[in-house]
Structures are given as structure tokens and as C-alpha cells.
Amino acid sequence: MKDEPWHQGTEVVALYNFPGRSPEDLAFQKGDLLIIQHGTRDKNWYKASDAQGRQGMIPANYVQPRKVVTLHAMPWFHGKISRQQAEDLLKPRENGLFLIRESNNYPGDYTLCVCHNGKVEHYRILYRDNQLTIDEEGFFKTLDELVKHYLKDADGLCTQLTRPVTKQGGSFGTVSLDEFKNGGWVINQPDVQVGEIIGKGAFGDVYKGEYKGQPVAIKQLKDKDRGEQSFLQEASVMTTLRHDNLVRLIGVVLGENIFLVTEFMGKGNLVEYLRSRGRSVITKKDQINFATDTCAAMEYLESKNLVHRDLAARNVLINDNGMAKVSDFGLAKFGDFSQSGQKFPIKWTAPEALRENNFTTKSDMWSFGILLWEIYAFGRVPYPRIPLQDVVVHVERGYRMEAPEGCPPEIYTIMKQAWELDPERRPTFRSVLGRLNNLRSVTV
């Protein structure tokens, strides 16, 4: 049983089947998700609603509230760097100075690099059956556990770990599978039906499916050995967030296949929606709604000091009611963009983020300005007449895109303010949301 009463909006997961004992009760099955509406005079009973919108009384000891899954920082993890880069970072060569990198020779494994007697020793960390080991004697669930162990005891290493070389420009994170289980986020694979493929992502393909009779989107991890932690990082960030304009996490399936199950957004992503329907279908009211919905989600992230890092119309989804919701905020807390490769979103990224890997709420605001341009240009690619490699130079010299045809002047003013070179001169999402709400109220 719980200590504190649950408040309206608390999400709980059913621990057992409850058939209902009277007409006032809400029957449910183990694993069902319910939302608390309010308490009653009897602290053991609550009024709640289910996924279909039915309401009724539920017994408190048949359910548990979902818990946030904690993402643990890994400041000593440097990702995909070379052996030589690691040795260059490990200076001065004091005993026990260390870092961890991805293994270059064995994809999916890691390498512990530690200083001892003026040299750098490189230990391969094997990833086997969801566990990590250096000597195949001590096994750990996460890199975080492994590091904590060797900080206490050398246990076969050349020396005990003493001090990490921390990664500059943001760190990675690690998460434990047990936290998803204990937090009430794990759902049984037989309850999930996977349907047609509807999208492809860096870590997994996305399918339309069903969970307990409701339509859902199911992201399946492609390569468990290489992508599991990044995949679970996205899920862990989603457990901390609840807002009408953020795509909601329903749960995760763990096991042979790892699935991330979210609410289904029937009209797809915003950029395709804009392009496929165009001016003949999409009204001024639709445009201001998309802009305001997105800004509301970003104001919520801003209030939690979370940075999205990849805000663009392709990462905003539209549900069957025409509401816009921001997705793909797995990078919001810990993330490391590589600027090599064609997938880096140069046209959406603020100059200081490109130059110094400095992502903030203010760099998100720059991206929001680009997203506004996409909305009012009906999904056109930004900077349409400028080659990709020249965009940054033009922007830093003062070039700004013109207002799309038919764009309200108030919206173009927000774009230009979002594209101030000095991040501190850009507005907050909170202030922009107030202006967009005012504009929405007078748009017909």
C-alpha cells in the first residue's frame, strides 16, 4: 500500500485482474493502464478511467503507480573514439586515471582505458547475455555498476580506478532493465500485436500495432547488442514526461525482442502531412494549431530544463484529431550528435550548437523558428536555394529566410527572433506560447 494519496492524473498499472463487484466498479485486467480521477472517503478506493474512457471505482491494492526510470550519467564514457584519441585524453598519466570508449575492433563491446606506471592499458569489456565483464568472473548489468566496482577494488586490473576523464559537451547515460520492471513499465509480448511497418529510425523500425485492443506504435530495436542502451535511454526519458503534446510511452517489451510501445498517431509526421495535403486542405487555423501545440510541448520541456536537440517537422506527429505532438525526445537528456555523416540536421541546428556542440533551450528555439517556417511553407525543405554546405556561412553572415507566402507577420516576427545569432536574445518558449495562444484565439 502507498503512503501518500494519489492525485488526479496519476497513471497506475494493474497488478491483478479485477472483475468488478458492483455497477459502480471499473473492471480491468492485469497490465491495464488506468488514470486516477480522484480519491474517495475510503482511502482504499479511487475513481479512475481506462484507455477506452470508461470510468468507475478501483481498489488501490490492485494497482501501482508507475515510477520514473532514472537515467544515470556516465561522464567517463566517450563513445566512439580511437585508441590514440583515448591515450591523448588520458594526461597526465596518473595511476588510476581512466575512461571508457566503444570498442573499435569488436562492435557491441567496450574498452576500459586506464593509466598505470606512465602507460595506458586497454581492457576489453565483453557484452554477453545482457551482462558486461572484463575477466568473465565478475559480471555487471551496466557500465555504471562495472565502474563503481573497480573504483573500490582493482580486482585483477593493473590498478584501482581513481579519477575519470570526463567527456566535454554532454555525457551519455545508462539505465537498468530492472528499473523498467520495478517501475511498472514492462508489458507482456503476447499482449502486443505487430502490424504493418510505418517508419524507419536509427535504432529500429516502427510498426502500427495493437495493445489490449487500442492502436499503438511499436518501435522494434534492430541490433540488440549495439543499440540497447540508446533505445532504453529514449524510453527512460519518456517515463519522466507527461504532457498532452508529447507522444506518450505506453510501455516496453523486454526479452528476445525489445519493443518501445507508444500511442498511435494516425496522421503521421507533420512534414509529410503538410506536403501531402498542401494549401487546398490545410487552413490558417490548422497551421496556428500545429505551431501552438508544438510550442506547448517545448515550453513543458523548457520548464524541466530538458533540451530536445532535434526539433523539426519530421519529429512532430499528428493524431486522428489533428493534434500535434512532439516525438523522438530520447536525446533530450543525454545525447551525442556526431556531425560527421549526412544525417546531421544542419539546416535545423543553431550556429553555436554546430560550432561548439552547445545544445540548450535556446538552440531548441532556433530549431522551432525553422519548424515554424516549415509549417507556413507547407513542408518545403528550409533554405531551398542554398547548398547544404553553404548554409552555415550564409547564416553567420546575417542571411535569414524570407517569410513563406501567406505567413502572418506576427509569425514571421517570432521566426526572426528565434534566429538571433546571440542565443540570449532569443525568446523563451513560455513567452512565444503566450503570443501563439493569442494569435490562435483570433484565427478563423
Per-residue pLDDT band for 399 (boundaries 50, 70, 90) equals very high
Count up the domains in the chain and report the number.
Answer: 4
Is residue 214's pLDDT more than 70?
Answer: yes
Of 164-173, 247-256, 293-302, the range with the lowest mean pLDDT is 164-173
User: Which H or E element spans position 149?
Assistant: helix 143-152
Q: Are 94 and 151 in the same domain? A: yes
- Quick one: what percent of the chain has pLDDT higher than 70? 93
Query: What's the rounded Cα separation, in Å, for the pair 281 and 323?
Result: 16
Other CB atoms within 10 A of residue 397 CB: 7
Mean pLDDT of 202-221: 89
CA dist 260 and 146 (Å) reads 26
- Asked whether residue 171 carries a pLDDT value surpassing 80, the answer given is no
Asked if the structure places residue 173 within a domain, the reply is no
Specify the CATH number for the domain of residue 54: 2.30.30.40
Residue ranges for the known binding site are 219
Last residue of a domain, one of 234, 263, 292: 263
Q: What is the pLDDT of residue 330?
A: 52
Q: What is the CATH number of the domain that holds 158?
A: 3.30.505.10
Same domain (yes/no): 133, 281 = no
pLDDT at 306: 87
Residues 346, 426, single domain; the answer is yes
Is this structure's pTM higher than 0.75? yes
Nearest to 26 by CA among 49, 52, 3, 1: 49
Q: Are residues 323 and 378 in the same domain?
A: yes
Strands of 241-338, DSSP E: 249-253, 259-263, 316-318, 324-326
Which stretch of DSSP H or E encloses residue 205?
Answer: strand 204-211
For residues 52 and 80, state if they share a domain. no
Tell me whether residue 425 is exposed, middle or buried, using C-beta atoms within 10 angstroms of its C-beta: 0 to 12, 13 to 18, 19 or more.
exposed
For 5, 32, 47, the CA distances from 8, given in Å and listed in that order, are 10, 18, 9
Say whether pLDDT at 287 is over 50. Answer: yes
Q: Are residues 285 and 258 in the same domain?
A: no
Q: Any alpha helices (H) in 282-389, and if so which ranges? A: 284-303, 351-356, 361-376
User: Among 140, 168, 196, where does a domain finish?
Assistant: 168
Residue 86 and residue 129 in one domain: yes
Residue 349 lies in a domain: yes
Where b means 16+ CB within 10 Å and e means fewer, 345-377 reads bbbbbbbbbbeeeebbbbbbbbbbbbbbbbbbb
Query: What CA–CA distance (Å, rounded) separates 414 from 365?
Result: 10
Distances (CA, A) of 309 to 2, 266, 431: 37, 25, 20
Within a domain: residue 174? no
Specify whether the CB–CB gap between 58 and 44 falls below 8 A.
no
Residue 46 lies in a domain: yes
Is the pLDDT at 334 greater than 70? The verdict is no
Question: Looking at the structure, do residues 273 and 415 belong to the same domain, yes or no?
Answer: yes
Say whether both 363 and 407 belong to one domain.
yes
**H or E segment at 59?**
strand 55-59
**Domain interval for residue 312:** 268-442
Q: In this predicted structure, which of 40-49, 168-177, 309-318, 367-376 has the lowest mean pLDDT?
A: 168-177
343 burial class (0-12, 13-18, 19+ CB within 10 angstroms)? exposed
Q: Quick one: 369 and 396 in the same domain?
A: yes
52 within a domain of the structure (yes/no): yes
- Pair 222, 359 in one domain: no
Confidence of residue 150 (pLDDT cuts 50, 70, 90): very high
Residue 181 lies in a domain: no
CA distances to 5, 46, 49, 61 from 40, in Å: 10, 6, 14, 14
Whether the pLDDT of residue 179 is over 60: the answer is yes
d(CA 210, CA 192): 6
Domain annotation covers residue 334: yes
What positions carry a catalytic annotation? 310
Q: Which three cell numbers stand for residue 249?
A: 510511452
User: Considering the domain boundaries, does residue 408 fall inside one?
Assistant: yes
- 22 and 125 housed in the same domain: no
Binding residues for ATP: 219
